[in-house]
Structure 1
């Protein structure tokens, strides 16, 4: 990956033409200065206390010594030197350092703190060495300006590397998460899903709950539900692209947490499926999709698919339901349409209210005597079948489907 040159000002880092004796003294002191610089960073920046230990610590000392050596080389140059400056190579190394720190999970704050502490510690020793070698006060000031301009350039390159790596890693991980969501939707094998989760560095939850809602209403939801939430906006099965729907697979929202989920969605037009074991989350999506077809147009706020279980069951096999209605309601088929419809409503209310005439009358907004008259008509056509539990169950299912 090429190094970003944003913010660079090469003109700030120019040579001082230091005397050879001072250059020799500084070069001789570099191992000691590097060791003291690493020690200072280790003590003052907690994020690096373990990173700089053991063999890694020795490697870091070597890198610091080489970086400070580049600074000494720049200081030794004249402004019109024809030799190539060591600055570009040092900046490339700083850029790669920033990328590595991003991969190791350390923040830019920690990286900048390390630069600040390192600059202070190394300059103190370098200045002392240069002054001991007879460097005049005016030259010390110019050397300080050069040293801190050099550190500024290095830190800027490292931050650029850190930001580029973070952005790239984030895009790559999101790509893998998108792939995982699609694999769950397409019912891939358990081994494939586990491999996809590992590739995305995604810790599988116990369950996933499907939330189906307009793409425009997904803003901010992933942050509400956590980074483990899968967010899918393309190629949703059985959904027309023109519907502009998105799917969230929200982790661990079963049991008591379901009420919290519904509350967080209170300002969204969402359909919420049931919690399912994460590799079987397609069934939660299917439930949400089927519920969507049952929800009245214009419904506001989130819809819990659990509230539609009866309707979902009744519409699971529409042909079977039609056959049940035809067979179970056959005794009423010879009656006029309006009469049959009134008797169907009365019979359903009668069965649901366990034959309590006054409650049936209140439910239908009719007189109790009307209920009595209608039920006598029903008994005329059904006879003793109304005493058969199986017939009663079939009647309730068949009549409920027409409500």
Structure 2
């Protein structure tokens, strides 16, 4: 009977108690926004009142059971904290303050009707359990808001990357950027005014400051469910494509390469050359080319490569049809040699073209006897004649032979 009487008195106190609690909370947290419902009543006041009523009604129930929480109100509180960029810690602190104030008044009612201390302890325990349930509802609302915000941020980020990488994509047939491997600091034009304006707008919406230079990476997933690499907030990352892409701002800044190396542990792929922001699509094109070569086993796999460290392979192996056509013409004299002998002659010719030395220097490079080199060089003279003295022909021969060595068709020497 005492519990029933306690509940009845407490319910009578709920409206005034809710007002007192809200007043104390506002005094303690003056920056707390006031959100009104359709009738103009503060949502916080409605939540406090419903929470108090729910707790008291739970106590008054003839049989125990799971408490009923004002779900929508406290989930909305949690969503509000998330949408306004505040932490759940502040919300939980407000809950604790409210419970302390509420329990002070409820304890006075318990003393008034002489409820024994053990029974009051049980009520206090129920109160804190009830608080945990309210916090759970707010955490759920907070998580929903955070997920929604993160989804929207990623959507806007993908839109920014799409504009950055596709609107001014260069001609696929042109060569590598002029500054590949040189890291020039010159700033290019910013592209069409309309595109630049759109970039400014989209970058501002995701809080990304437009850099002067970028490098674009293409990644190969270590597993289909691989967790996104922790590349940091400044790096744009799109995990929605089959081969994730990233845009690295100011890639030559001090410490940036090392940070990326640690973040990309366990991943493989390629990062294109640093280019002016307006040429981001060019960097992407070379990163894609490097990844294709990795997939064919022509570049090292199992790590994230920097295109600037593999310029020779990208230049010589990319235009494959052109190089092969040039190779057929330049290496036609080897057509009548056996495969093994033709390979030895090709390796000797390349070593001679690279060193421009005599038989001893070429022999040292190949690891054979100088007399063997002299014999092969005589054969080369017989096969190519005066062409090996023509600078243009020598350049073409070295080009196609280097390409074959990169593909593993010739042995690596030196």
Q: Give the TM-score of the pair, scaled to structure 2.
A: 0.65
Secondary structure of the corresponding residue to residue 402 of structure 1: helix
- CA distance in 2 between counterparts of 1:267 and 1:320 reads 35
**2:6 paired with 1:18:** no
In structure 2, relative to structure 1, the CA distance for the partners of 1:297 and 1:112 (3 Å cut) is: same
* Residue matched to 1:357: 359
1:43-58 mapped onto 2 (5 Å cutoff): 51-52=31-32, 56=33
1:244-263 mapped onto 2 (5 Å cutoff): 246-249=243-246, 251-252=248-249, 254-255=251-252, 257-258=256-257, 261-262=260-261
- CA distance in 1 between counterparts of 2:116 and 2:271 reads 73
* Residue matched to 1:46: none
**2:315 paired with 1:313:** yes
In structure 2, relative to structure 1, the CA distance for the partners of 1:14 and 1:98 (3 Å cut) is: farther
1:368 shift after superposition: 1.1
1:103 shift after superposition: 0.9
**2:99 paired with 1:119:** yes
* Residue matched to 2:150: 170
* Preserved contact between residue 218 and residue 269 of structure 2 (Cα < 8 Å): yes
1:140-179 mapped onto 2 (5 Å cutoff): 141=120, 151-174=131-154, 177=157
* Residue matched to 1:95: 75
> Structure 2: 5+ residue runs without aligned partners?
62-67, 170-194, 406-414
- CA distance in 1 between counterparts of 2:224 and 2:250 reads 20
Moved more, 377-386 or 356-365: 377-386
1:194 shift after superposition: 6.2
* Residue matched to 1:390: 392
* Residue matched to 1:347: 349
1:113-262 mapped onto 2 (5 Å cutoff): 113-124=93-104, 126=105, 135-138=112-115, 141=120, 151-174=131-154, 177=157, 190=195, 207-216=214-223, 219-223=226-230, 225=232, 228-232=235-239, 234=241, 236=242, 246-249=243-246, 251-252=248-249, 254-255=251-252, 257-258=256-257, 261-262=260-261
* Preserved contact between residue 254 and residue 275 of structure 1 (Cα < 8 Å): no
* Residue matched to 1:38: 26
Higher helix share: 1
* Deviation readout 1:45-102 (Å, 9 max, x if unpaired): xxxx6x33xxx3697995444444446767998958xxxxxx86x5422221111111
> Structure 1: 5+ residue runs without aligned partners?
1-11, 43-48, 81-86, 237-245
1:147 shift after superposition: 6.3
- CA distance in 2 between counterparts of 1:391 and 1:210 reads 37
- CA distance in 2 between counterparts of 1:266 and 1:128 reads 58
- CA distance in 1 between counterparts of 2:269 and 2:94 reads 49
In structure 2, relative to structure 1, the CA distance for the partners of 1:348 and 1:285 (3 Å cut) is: closer
- CA distance in 2 between counterparts of 1:13 and 1:311 reads 85
**2:90 paired with 1:110:** yes
* Preserved contact between residue 17 and residue 102 of structure 2 (Cα < 8 Å): no
Name the Cα RMSD after superposition.
4.7
* Preserved contact between residue 173 and residue 201 of structure 1 (Cα < 8 Å): no
In structure 2, relative to structure 1, the CA distance for the partners of 1:74 and 1:263 (3 Å cut) is: closer
Secondary structure of the corresponding residue to residue 295 of structure 1: coil
Secondary structure of the corresponding residue to residue 170 of structure 1: helix
Count, aligned residues? 357
- CA distance in 2 between counterparts of 1:174 and 1:13 reads 53
1:165 shift after superposition: 2.3
1:360 shift after superposition: 0.9
* Deviation readout 1:219-266 (Å, 9 max, x if unpaired): 3452355584524354x4xxxxxxxxx424263483364355446555
